């Protein structure tokens, strides 16, 4: 166990509490913070200048990897090997980002499966998880250098809207960087933790960063922090303010937008200059500078007019988030400003006006999330007893479905207590019993996960396969005790069992299961794909046989024989190991039989109607 030791002037003081650090893994900048003498601090780099590590990774000619300020400078000269904004890609599939592909200066590739995106750098492919791990490693070495000891335990923040895949990806990145990630925390929750002590009630966290805008409404009551609603724009942030300044300067230079693309170096130079101008205008009334022998000049007043539409867009999101939380601006008790872009005076003024109350801006807006993460870490370490945070379930809980597949009903990291349900059906005609096997773990096949128990829903009234509606409900209470309830909805048959999921799984075992799930992700995906294809094919074969026997009079000899041939081909492919050939056989059978099925349906409907003599 890591001990928290700090060097004081009069000697070394050691406590036995494990030191857990807080990390803000941002789209633009990342930071690490820790608690010293009960106060949170962000760690500065070796040069002692800034606490921010730009979230940029650069791959050099000779294979070195650079993270942070130096990497950010390479964006100009070597964009193809310099990765920024990787957070936008976390847990995303190629399809998810199709629309915004042009945004990235580097190469994003589709690895041909339904799976997550990869980024190509030279001849290697990196997942967003690996790239984020590189940023986290940089933060790890920063804090280790600062404290002179190995640090393992960390809390990492994510946007409140991150889904389970994105949260897991973040956790995995932490693990890959050598951290034991104790908790994934919502950024607005962290910000609220760092904000004024003892705030209660409805809190708005307005977070305008480099490339994204997030607005969240939290309800804080008796130390419980709950996110009521979130809204925002994943393509609105400081970069857009830079862009409007670039446009303004282009006019002063007598140049146009085409010059940015035809001369990329000029483009990057003017962009960096614009960012500097923007920051300066947060402090002074006028910005002046020469570029290429011409004078550039802009006043704060002009900048504010240009920035107005961007700010208005953030306020639209604020209106939406309030509507979703069913609150009015006047009901918000506290407004916390987060993100470097809230340093812009007009942003602060307009947000103050919107909520009709002074905003909290005592802390550095670009550090507040990391500071809050450190506080959260301190709570987890047991140093702050008065704050209660909702617990989460460490591993996914689910049931076994056909072919030994794990179907997660309550995903890992869900807040507890929680409840989730899903409907299933039978796969065999007249099936009377349904065995429900409950598993815990992250792997796609149940055989690799841990079985928690099983029970049988018996005496299901005989029905054709697919007709029964079996509702399986998982209820996980605050103590981590799981109750599984199964109910056949057509007959109202019900049974339930109580299962203790965490019983018997040690921290080490849990860690092993998680590592296992990362290392085997690829083979799991392949195995899952094959099993799913087989399951689908088997049910198509069943219905194909049924179709043939029920419609012998409607189909011609040739049609029946062709259908039979296609069915045989599908049967053969199912016994093989090739997912694609199963899919192809299925496709061929479907294409051929769909028009036949339509015709049969028409005939049957007509017959039925005549029978009823309408
Ligand atoms: P993220 O959460 O997206 O990682 P940050 O909260 O670190 O981002 O915000 C970065 C953005 O804040 C950048 O666009 C930067 O230009 C902007 N920023 C930082 N300081 C100032 C300032 N003094 N005035 C205006 N914008 C600033
Ligand atoms: Mg941020």
CA distances from 193 to 337, 368, 373, 578 (A): 13, 9, 8, 52
Distance 298 CA to ligand 1 centre (A): 20
Distance CA 59, CA 117 (A): 19
In CATH, what is the architecture of 393-509? Sandwich (2.60)
Pocket test residue of 238, 307, 345 for ligand 1, highest count of atoms within 8 A of CB: 238
Distance 479 CA to ligand 1 centre (A): 41
Ligand 1 atom nearest 340 alpha carbon? 12
Q: Which residues sit with their C-beta closer than 6 Å to ligand 1?
A: 26-29, 209-212, 237-239, 275, 278-279, 282, 339-341, 343-344, 366
Distance CA 413, CA 41 (A): 27
Alpha helices in 128-282 (DSSP H): 128-147, 164-176, 187-194, 238-253, 258-262, 264-281
Catalytic residue chosen out of the listed positions 130, 138, 207, 361: 207
pTM of the predicted model as reported, rounded to 2 decimal places: 0.66
Side-chain half-sphere CA neighbours of 40 within 13 A: 31
Pocket test residue of 24, 27, 28, 280 for ligand 1, highest count of atoms within 8 A of CB: 28
For ligand 1, atom 25, which residue shows the shortest CA distance? 279
Q: What is the pLDDT of residue 1?
A: 29
Residues 398 and 407 sit within 8 Å (Cβ to Cβ): yes
Pocket test residue of 27, 50, 340, 349 for ligand 1, highest count of atoms within 8 A of CB: 340
Q: What is the pLDDT of residue 498?
A: 74
**Taking ligand 2, which is a single-atom ion, which protein residues have CB atoms under 5 Å away?**
26, 209
Q: Tokens standing for 75? A: 């964006």
Distance 211 CA to ligand 1 centre (A): 9
What would the pLDDT profile of 21-42 be if each residue is shown by its tens digit?
999 999 999 999 999 988 999 9
Q: What is the pLDDT of residue 103?
A: 60
Closest CA to 185 of 374, 420, 339: 374
The CATH number assigned to the domain with range 20-238+306-391 reads 3.30.420.40
Distance 367 CA to ligand 2 centre (A): 9
Please tell me whether the peptide bond between 417 and the residue prior to it is cis, using omega within 30 degrees of 0: yes
Ligand 1 atom nearest 338 alpha carbon? 6
Ligand with an atom nearest the CA of residue 210: 1
Active site residue 454: no
Distance 342 CA to ligand 1 centre (A): 8
Distance 152 CA to ligand 1 centre (A): 29
Q: What is the pLDDT of residue 21?
A: 96
Distance 341 CA to ligand 1 centre (A): 4
Assess if CATH 3.30.470.20 describes domain 239-305: no
Q: Where in the chain is the domain with CATH 3.90.640.10?
A: 239-305
Catalytic residue chosen out of the listed positions 187, 233, 367, 442: 187
Ligand with an atom nearest the CA of residue 343: 1
Residues 173 and 140 sit within 8 Å (Cβ to Cβ): no
Active site residue 316: no
Ligand with an atom nearest the CA of residue 158: 2
The CATH number assigned to the domain with range 522-609 reads 1.20.1270.10
Alpha helices in 45-127 (DSSP H): 69-77, 94-97
Ligand 1 atom nearest 241 alpha carbon? 14
Q: Where in the chain is the domain with CATH 1.20.1270.10?
A: 522-609
Closest CA to 232 of 213, 247, 246, 250: 213
Active site residue 207: yes
Closest CA to 279 of 345, 360, 332, 330: 345
Q: Where in the chain is the domain with CATH 2.60.34.10?
A: 393-509
Distance CA 215, CA 508 (A): 37
User: First-to-last CA distance in the chain?
Assistant: 80
Pocket test residue of 366, 370, 372 for ligand 1, highest count of atoms within 8 A of CB: 366
Active site residue 429: no
Ligand 1 atom nearest 366 alpha carbon? 6
User: Quick one: 235 exposed, middle or buried, by C-beta within 10 A (0-12, 13-18, 19+)?
Assistant: middle
- Residue spans of the chain under pLDDT 70: 1-18, 95, 97-105, 109-115, 163-164, 222-223, 385-394, 413, 478-480, 500-522, 525, 608-614
Distance CA 57, CA 89 (A): 14
């Amino acid at each position: 166990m890591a001990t928290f030791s700090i060097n004081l002037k009069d000697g070394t003081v050691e406590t036995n509490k494990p030191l857990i650090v807080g990390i803000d893994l941002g789209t633009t900048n990342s930071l690490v913070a820790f608690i010293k003498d009960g106060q949170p601090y962000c760690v500065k780099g070796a040069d002692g200048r800034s606490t921010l590590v730009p979230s940029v990774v650069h791959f050099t000619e000779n294979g070195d990897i650079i993270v942070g300020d130096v990497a950010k400078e390479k964006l100009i000269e070597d964009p193809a090997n310099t990765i920024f904004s990787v957070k936008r890609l976390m847990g995303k599939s190629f399809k998810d980002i199709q629309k915004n592909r042009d945004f990235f200066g580097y190469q994003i590739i589709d690895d041909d499966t339904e799976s997550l995106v990869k980024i190509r750098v030279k001849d290697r492919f990196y997942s967003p998880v690996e790239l984020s791990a590189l940023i986290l490693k940089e933060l790890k070495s920063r804090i280790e250098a600062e404290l002179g000891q190995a640090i393992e335990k960390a809390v990492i923040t994510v946007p409140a809207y991150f889904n389970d895949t994105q949260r897991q990806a973040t956790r995995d990145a932490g693990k890959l960087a050598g951290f034991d990630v104790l908790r994934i925390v919502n950024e607005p929750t962290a910000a609220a933790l760092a904000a004024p002590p003892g705030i209660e009630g409805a809190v708005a966290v307005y977070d305008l960063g480099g490339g994204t805008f997030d607005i969240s409404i939290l309800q804080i009551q008796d130390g419980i922090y709950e996110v009521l609603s979130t809204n925002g724009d994943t393509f609105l942030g400081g970069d857009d303010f830079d862009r409007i300044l670039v446009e303004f300067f282009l006019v002063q230079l007598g140049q146009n937008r085409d010059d940015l693309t035809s001369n990329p170096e000029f483009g990057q130079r003017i962009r960096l200059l614009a960012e500097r101008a923007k920051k300066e205008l947060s402090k002074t009334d006028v910005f002046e500078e020469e570029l290429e022998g011409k004078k550039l000049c802009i006043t704060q007043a002009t900048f504010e007019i240009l920035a107005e539409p961007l700010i208005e867009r953030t306020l639209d999101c604020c209106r939406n988030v309030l509507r979703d939380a069913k609150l009015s601006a006047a009901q918000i008790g506290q407004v916390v400003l987060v993100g470097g872009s809230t340093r812009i005076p007009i942003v602060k003024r307009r947000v103050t006006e919107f909520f009709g109350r002074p905003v909290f801006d005592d802390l550095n807006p670009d550090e507040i999330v990391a500071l809050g993460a450190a506080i959260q870490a301190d709570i987890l370490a047991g140093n702050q007893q008065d704050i209660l945070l909702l617990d989460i379930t460490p591993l996914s809980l689910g049931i076994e479905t056909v072919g030994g597949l794990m179907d997660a009903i309550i995903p890992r990291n869900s807040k507890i207590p929680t409840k989730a349900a899903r409907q299933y059906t039978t796969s065999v005609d007249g099936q009377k019993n349904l065995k429900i096997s409950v598993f815990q773990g992250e792997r796609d096949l149940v055989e690799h996960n841990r079985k928690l128990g099983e029970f049988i829903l018996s005496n299901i009234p005989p029905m054709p396969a697919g007709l029964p509606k079996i509702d399986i409900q998982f209820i996980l209470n605050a103590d981590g005790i799981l109750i599984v309830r199964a109910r056949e909805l057509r007959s109202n048959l019900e049974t339930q069992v109580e299962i203790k999921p965490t019983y018997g799984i040690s921290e080490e075992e849990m860690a092993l299961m998680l590592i296992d799930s990362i290392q085997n992700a690829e083979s799991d995906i392949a195995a899952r794909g094959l099993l799913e294809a087989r399951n689908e094919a088997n049910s198509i074969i069943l219905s194909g046989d049924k179709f043939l026997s029920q419609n012998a009079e409607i189909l011609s000899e040739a049609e029946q024989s062709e259908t039979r041939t296609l069915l045989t081909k599908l049967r053969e492919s199912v016994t093989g190991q090739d997912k694609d050939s199963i899919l192809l056989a299925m496709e061929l059978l479907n294409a051929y039989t769909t028009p036949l099925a339509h015709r049969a349906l028409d005939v049957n409907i007509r017959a039925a109607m005549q029978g009823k003599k309408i």
